[in-house]
Amino acid sequence: MALQDAPVYELCVLGAGPAGYVAALRAAQLGATVALIEEEEVGGTCLNHGCIPTKALVESGRALRMIRRASEYGLRLDGRVEADFAAVVARKDRIVARLVRAVKELLLQRGVSLIRGRAAVQRAGSVVISTAGEPVEVRYRSLLVATGSRPLVPVIEGRELGCVLDVRRLLGSTRLPRSLVVVGGSAVGIEMSDIYASFGTRVTVLEKFSILPRVDQQLARRYLAIATRRGIAIQEGADVQSVEQLDTGMARVHYVAGGAARYVDGELVLLATGRQPNSAGLGLERLGVAITPQGAIQVDSCLRTAVPGIYAAGDVVGGWMLAHVAAHEGLVAAENALGGERHMDYSAVPNCIFTEPEIASVGMTEVQARTAGFDAQVCRFPFSANGRAMTMGEEEGVVRLVYERGSGRILGVHILGPLASELIVEGALAVKEGLNVRQLAEIMHQHPTLSEAVMEAGMAAAYGEALHFRAL
């Protein structure tokens, strides 16, 4: 298509992941003409190879554990219960396909032009899309780059072997490995280790530093103990050097820990060592867009780049690299691209890890609060004292509330326990709105619910003691 014949879209979005497709939907809501360019599938990594497929596996694993615990609930179950992993994966694939289809339908209903192909910026005001047919040129008034991230592959000898996988390839396999070595103990590595352990895989996690670096360290240490009891071997301080394929078909991972050379064997090796912004090859530098050495596009609080009319959102700007952060950035960027002046606020970002039990946090940890100069205090309430948790048979865990002495202002909420991912939104509201512990304690919570544990932590902070728990 010649440039003079190309339609001019008010917003052109590169990438249809959480940031991109949400931005496209919001811009269309506001009446704009929108082109959404995607090289692979709508939904990006989150919907197709991350958040949604892993949660489908989490729920299958949870169901398996509950069935095996039937006797604890007064139920008699005759016969052995086993996972049909191929059927588990098929269920995961059906859920993903259904959600992808739903997003596509929403985009169609809102009038968004969805174009399949890889985009590159040739000149200001237009992008060229490489498609299966002839290249397509799209003109725009504003451009939003939301091209996400890609796996960060560590420099490890043997990383190219067939037994070494990233999360995407592992999730695409219908074979349940008998043993799995996970390289990387941050959120993704720990969540994947927890998932596969729930199906009976023998899992070893090798982490160079400490696991779950973004999690309150009291909760991280507590989860480490729980995971160890469940049979997950976690080796912190492990510097992985190489992977070799043995004649037996097993993979051997060599690492150094405590100054000594060691190794561990597994059928498969998962590299879960983080992700990096996916900004290469777009041609943005031609227009003067600033990109860090790590590949992150530099933006201001309105998600504007240094080039007028060009915005960026999601993993490609670095930072949190969470789907819900990306979606929120997409909303902000879309509104600003159409004339708004909305600023991003990262003070209350909820972060969830879908382990067993779940881990969720928002705001500052105790260490972060004190480093920031607050006279920070911590109150806690255990789920073992919560009636709903008892009825569920899920008593492991605790709510930790970080607050400022004097004002009582809530600085952070950190939860290890059942459905922590659902409970944390109350903490996010408290942190964002600047609530104090007395206000939290005085909100009526329905009974019996897990949310009462959050209220009780507030009571412990406001009144010096929780109602249903007395620390010895």
pLDDT tens digits for 192-240? Answer: 999 999 999 999 999 999 999 999 999 999 999 999 999 999 999 999 9
Residue 80 to residue 335: CA distance in whole angstroms: 55
Residues 219 and 294 in one domain: no
Quick one: pLDDT band at residue 1, thresholds 50, 70, 90? very low
Residues 143 and 11 in one domain: yes
Residues 265 and 281 in one domain: no
Location of structure tokens 């051997």: 252
Residue 470 domain-assigned (yes or no): no
Q: 191 vs 28, 58, 146, 233, 342, CA distance in Å?
A: 35, 9, 25, 14, 34
Q: What is the pLDDT of residues 66-94, one digit of tens each?
A: 999 999 999 998 888 999 999 999 999 99
CATH of residue 383: 3.30.390.30
Task: Report the amino acid identity of residue 354.
Answer: F
Residues 199 and 104 in one domain: no
Cβ neighbours, 10 Å, residue 422: 14
Residue 158 domain-assigned (yes or no): no
Location of structure tokens 């890889």: 118
Q: What is the pLDDT of residues 421-456, one digit of tens each?
A: 999 999 999 999 999 999 999 999 999 999 999 999
CATH of residue 63: 3.50.50.60
State CA 46 to chain mean position distance.
Answer: 8
| CA-wise closest residue to 297 among 139, 148, 447 | 148
Secondary structure element (H or E) that encloses residue 49, with its range: helix 44-49
Residues 14 and 136 in one domain: yes
Q: What is the pLDDT of residues 282-328, one digit of tens each?
A: 999 999 999 999 999 999 999 999 999 999 999 999 999 999 999 99
Residues 319 and 381 in one domain: no
Crossing angle of helices 420-432 and 452-463, in 10° steps, is 40
| CA-wise closest residue to 17 among 100, 111, 112 | 100
Residue 119 domain-assigned (yes or no): yes
CB burial of 259-289 (b: ≥16 within 10 Å; e: otherwise) equals eeeeebbbbbbbbbbbbbbbbeebebeebeb
> Could you give the number of structural domains in the chain?
3
Residue 344 domain-assigned (yes or no): no
Residue 188 to residue 211: CA distance in whole angstroms: 11
| CA-wise closest residue to 426 among 451, 409, 404 | 451
Residue 398 to residue 420: CA distance in whole angstroms: 10
How confident is the model over 138-146, as a mean pLDDT? 97
Domain-terminating residue out of 273, 293, 323: 273
Quick one: pLDDT band at residue 472, thresholds 50, 70, 90? low
pLDDT of residue 166: 97
The pLDDT of residue 133 is above 80: no
Residue 166 to residue 175: CA distance in whole angstroms: 15
Quick one: pLDDT band at residue 6, thresholds 50, 70, 90? low
Residues 305 and 257 in one domain: no
Residues 134 and 23 in one domain: yes
Tally the residues of the chain: 472
Q: What is the pLDDT of residues 114-123, one digit of tens each?
A: 999 999 998 9
Q: Rg (Cα) of the chain, in Å, rounded?
A: 24
Residues 203 and 133 in one domain: no
Structure tokens at 71: 């006797």
Cα 448–383–321 angle (5° rounding)?
Answer: 105
pLDDT, averaged across the chain? 96
Residue 459 domain-assigned (yes or no): yes
Cβ neighbours, 10 Å, residue 348: 18
Quick one: pLDDT band at residue 3, thresholds 50, 70, 90? very low
Residue 157 domain-assigned (yes or no): no
Q: Which residues contact 350 (CB under 8 A, 6 or more apart)?
A: 324, 360, 361, 362, 424, 425, 427, 428
pLDDT of residue 7: 80
Q: Mark whether 447 is an active-site residue.
A: yes
Residue 472 domain-assigned (yes or no): no
Domain-terminating residue out of 273, 298, 318: 273
Residues 366 and 256 in one domain: no
* Catalytic residue selected from 254, 328, 343, 447: 447
Residue 322 to residue 186: CA distance in whole angstroms: 13
Residues 121 and 168 in one domain: no
Structure tokens at 419: 């459905």
The pLDDT of residue 255 is above 60: yes
The pLDDT of residue 279 is above 70: yes
* Secondary structure (H, E, C), 364-390: CCHHHHHHCCCCEEEEEEEHHHCHHHH
To the nearest whole percent, how much of the chain has pLDDT over 90?
A: 95
Structure tokens at 248: 């037996």
Secondary structure element (H or E) that encloses residue 122, with its range: strand 118-123
Quick one: pLDDT band at residue 241, thresholds 50, 70, 90? very high
Q: What is the pTM of this model?
A: 0.96
Cα 170–95–58 angle (5° rounding)?
Answer: 55
Query: Structural domain of residue 199, as residue ranges?
Result: 164-273
Domain-terminating residue out of 337, 363, 384: 337
Helices (H) and strands (E) in the chain, counts: 13, 22
| CA-wise closest residue to 190 among 233, 161, 229 | 233
Residue 389 domain-assigned (yes or no): yes
The pLDDT of residue 152 is above 90: yes
Residues 44 and 94 in one domain: yes
